[in-house]
Amino acid sequence: MGRSPSSMMEAVTAREDGVLAGRGLEELGGIDEGSYIPAYVQLSRILQEAVRRGILRPGGRIPSESELGRIFGLSRMTVRRAVSLLVDAGLLDARQGSGTYVVNPRTDGGLFLVPDFHEEMLSRGGTSSARLLGVRVVPAAGRAAEKLGVKRGRRLIYLERLLEGEGEPLVYERKYLLYDKSQPLLEGELGHGPVSELFAGHPRYAPVRSELELKATVLGKGEAALLGREAGEPAFCLEQLVFAANDLRVIWGWLILRGDRFSFRSLQAEVR
């Protein structure tokens, strides 16, 4: 708590290599032990703030983990956790044997989160629903057969839905699903919620993961009519390939997201 011996202060502040003044960090405050916010979160916020204020500069080295531990009265493991948050977020770069550096920021690239449609609607405070436009059993052919890795002619479920939110159609969805004889194919089930729930009772077909590809597109005539827009307007196309256990491909399809209603913000340097 009190002032440290001069030897330590020198170790921290005597750097003149343009890297940092360790003392600046302490001015941002210490760790509040009584707080409900964990120490590692507090420290990572202090470090973030130091970068934001220019106390720690891009390209510069931050104090070592042991130094930070001494400055803030934390164990090295706790310091590491704080630093790891920022390394994961892309704000810091840890180089073994050398030190941890403030990253020179990339200004034209970043991480984007494309949320699940129903979650997105809920987080916007609205309600969402799905209007079933059509379902039928079709024989596999062309790209659907290829993407799902099944023989041509195998039976698939094909469905189209319109996902609505805020009283408007926002997303147009087309999907091919593996068809199983024991599958009920209840049309009533498809009105709401994610299609993947259709497989809920079929462990063999239960979705485990999905691969997504986000592309730019323009609305076709039919799509525009369904979405209440004009043909030629910009939109996102989110192609999805859904896998069950054993890498069995169970769904292939795509969503068309209205470009006038969807955009995505970067998560760059955000610490969760």
Partner DNA sequence: AAGTGGTCTAGACCACCCT
Partner DNA sequence: GGGTGGTCTAGACCACTTT
Contacting positions for a copy of itself (CB under 8 A): 51-54, 57-58, 88, 91, 104-117, 119-120, 194-196, 203, 206-218, 232-236, 238, 240, 242, 244-247, 251, 255, 257, 259, 262-269
By three-state DSSP, how is residue 254 classified? strand
Give 27's contacts (C-beta < 8 A, 6+ positions apart): 55
Closest to a copy of itself by CB, 42 or 48:
48
Pull the structure tokens for residue 147.
């993407």
8 A C-beta contact, residue 152 and residue 145: yes
Residue 188 contact, options a copy of itself, DNA, none, Cβ 5-8 Å cut-off depending on partner type = none
Instruction: Give residue 137's identity as a one-letter amino acid code.
Output: V
Residue 73 contact, options DNA, a copy of itself, none, Cβ 5-8 Å cut-off depending on partner type = DNA
Closest to a copy of itself by CB, 143 or 152:
143
| Residue window 22-51: x/- pattern of binding to DNA, with contact defined by CB under 7 A | ----------------xxxx----------
By three-state DSSP, how is residue 37 classified? coil
Closest to a copy of itself by CB, 99 or 259:
259
By CB under 7 A, tell whether 74 contacts DNA: yes
Q: Where are the beta strands (DSSP E) in 124-189?
A: 128-139, 155-165, 168-178
DSSP 35: S
Pull the structure tokens for residue 175.
């999907």
Residue 95 contact, options DNA, a copy of itself, none, Cβ 5-8 Å cut-off depending on partner type = DNA
Residue 88 contact, options a copy of itself, DNA, none, Cβ 5-8 Å cut-off depending on partner type = a copy of itself
The dihedral built from the CA positions of residue 19, 23, 29 and 35, taken in this order, carries a sign that is positive
By CB under 7 A, tell whether 96 contacts DNA: yes
Question: Least distance (Å) from a copy of itself to the CB of residue 10?
Answer: 25
The dihedral built from the CA positions of residue 189, 263, 207 and 248, taken in this order, carries a sign that is positive
Closest to DNA by CB, 99 or 259:
99
